[in-house]
Structure 1
């Protein structure tokens, strides 16, 4: 299994539009992609414009399928509009232990 951890900061005044976009992306990813086991959207308890996503995929092919999905292209447009440039950090990690 592969975990994708994404950390980013939303532009001031863009939080509601960002939440709408990430909700659609997470929903489509989890429901339409068989290789996605979960997609959690989290907000920092001290900064309501800092978000962290935890996604779990079967393998690299599932991650690539996610990035090729039509809803992901819409998500990338939302990122360009709502996310502070340079604030997004993606980490792809091999999952050694998962508590389900």
Structure 2
């Protein structure tokens, strides 16, 4: 499985716009993309403008399909206005242990 961790810093005053756009992107990704298994959006304690994303795809092709989706294009249009910096780290899921509860 292909995993992606994204670190983002949002421009001051753009947090709510970021959250709305990112929530729509994450929801559509899991709902509309068979290869998107997980899409978590996390805040960073102590800094309201920093976020971490954790995304899990069946494989790199599924991630490529994500980047080609209409909802990703809509997110990129929002991101141009709200994201100050971004670092993507792709990898492979090696082990997982979870006891999930709905957020």
Relative to the length of structure 1, the TM-score reads 0.95
In structure 1, stretches of 5+ residues that fail to align are: none
Name the structure where strand makes up a greater proportion of residues.
2
Tell me the number of residue pairs that the alignment of Structure 1 and Structure 2 aligns: 98
| Displaced runs of 4 or more, over 4 A | none
1:88 to 63, 86, 89: 86
What is the aligned partner in structure 1 of residue 74 from structure 2? Answer: 74
Q: Following TM superposition, by how much is the alpha carbon of 1:98 offset from its aligned partner in structure 2, in angstroms?
A: 1.9
Q: Following TM superposition, by how much is the alpha carbon of 1:99 offset from its aligned partner in structure 2, in angstroms?
A: 2.2
Partner-residue secondary structure (3-state), 2:4: strand
In structure 2, stretches of 5+ residues that fail to align are: 99-103
Relative to the length of structure 2, the TM-score reads 0.92
Partner-residue secondary structure (3-state), 1:12: coil
Q: Give the RMSD, CA atoms, in angstroms.
A: 0.8
